[in-house]
Amino acid sequence: MHISKEKILLNLKSRIFSRQIHLFEEVSSTQDILRSLIVSGSPEGTIVVSETQTQGRGRLDREWVSPDGGLWFSTVLIPPFGPEAAPQITLLAALSIVQAVSDVASIAASIKWPNDIFINGKKAAGIIGEMSSHQVAIKYITLGIGINVNIPLENLPPCATSLSHETQREIPLEELLSSFLNHLDDNYSAFKVSKDLSPFMDSIRKLLLYKGKTVEISTAHGMVQGTILDIHTDGRLIMKIGDESRMLSSGEISRSDTKEGIEHGGIDR
Ligand code: BTN
């Protein structure tokens, strides 16, 4: 399966994400290739896509299985904000994945806070956000996105699913990528004006997995159990723990009643 740049450009309306698109058959990790391109002067919006990765990585340095048939790519944003905007930007990327999956694969996906995409209880996509910052300013954020598109379940880890499995048809990778980039461009442009997630709260709330459910979350300060109430406009998760409400800025959610796959969330620096 070969990803075609012409097919990506066919539906790509975004100007920022059409500046530089680098396609590869195999790389170690699109995150690493992108980082070296940034160092040599590539602009905001540069895209690196690879058909396979030999050292795809997820959060917490976990391995990210990246066989042929998936959409494995990275892009770079230079938001005019401080590091506190980073979790909001990964949530915008999560929203953009859900929108693209709905447009191109006609299937409903949910956001498992802070940056995983689930379909029918299984992980279909993940985002890694890696930030370089200088004092109070973000220098850049590389968003690494993996979407299990046309991959049989036997080639994926047990808690994962793919779009082709869920829809029983092949999904065009190029259309999915350009749809994602068009949505991310719209969402990012609106975010630069609003400076928080307020324009997106209705959509994000509807898509929030486990809202109202009891979960366990492992945080930097230990394990907490509580009920997910909402998301704050700054991207933090609002939980009810005992009689108090608490805001979490990062963590790893697992359902305490089903014990399904534990996933880490947060921004890696
Ligand atoms: C996660 O859920 O832990 C994040 C997974 C991110 C995987 C993508 S695939 C493209 C990019 N390159 C990588 O090495 N990782 C990200």
Domain harbouring 234, CATH code: 2.30.30.100
Residues 127 and 215 in one domain: no
pLDDT in tens, 80-132: 999 999 999 999 999 999 999 999 999 999 999 999 999 999 999 999 999 99
The count of domains in the chain is 2
Q: Quick one: which of 142, 128, 133 has its CA closest to 84?
A: 133
pLDDT in tens, 89-102: 999 999 999 999 99
pLDDT in tens, 186-228: 999 999 999 999 999 999 999 999 999 999 998 888 999 999 9
The answer to whether residue 30 is domain-embedded is: yes
Residue 228 belongs to domain spanning: 211-256
CA dist 71 and 171 (Å) reads 11
What percentage of the chain carries pLDDT values higher than 70? 94
The answer to whether residue 262 is domain-embedded is: no
Structure tokens at 11: 């539906």
Residues 17 and 130 in one domain: yes
Output the CA angle 115-208-226, nearest 5 degrees: 95
Query: Is a pLDDT exceeding 70 seen at residue 259?
Result: no
Whether residue 129 has its Cβ less than 6 Å from ligand 1: no
For ligand 1, the distance from its centroid to the CA atom of residue 190, given in whole angstroms, is: 25
CATH number at residue 29: 3.30.930.10
CA dist 175 and 140 (Å) reads 26
Q: Average of pLDDT values for 234-262?
A: 82
Report CA-CA distances (Å) from 177 to 10, 55, 98, 156.
11, 21, 12, 20
Q: How confident is the model at residue 140 (pLDDT cuts 50, 70, 90)?
A: very high
Residues 218 and 144 in one domain: no
* Stated pTM of the model: 0.94
Report CA-CA distances (Å) from 245 to 112, 130, 260.
19, 29, 24
Q: How confident is the model at residue 180 (pLDDT cuts 50, 70, 90)?
A: very high
Residues 244 and 128 in one domain: no
Res 71: pLDDT: 98
The answer to whether residue 70 is domain-embedded is: yes
For ligand 1, the distance from its centroid to the CA atom of residue 39, given in whole angstroms, is: 20
Residues 138 and 33 in one domain: yes
Q: How confident is the model at residue 257 (pLDDT cuts 50, 70, 90)?
A: low
Q: Which of 164, 181, 205 is the last residue of a domain?
A: 205
Is the separation of the CB atoms in 263 and 253 below 8 Å? Answer: yes
Structure tokens at 30: 């699109």
The answer to whether residue 232 is domain-embedded is: yes
Ligand 1 atom closest to 115 (CA): 2
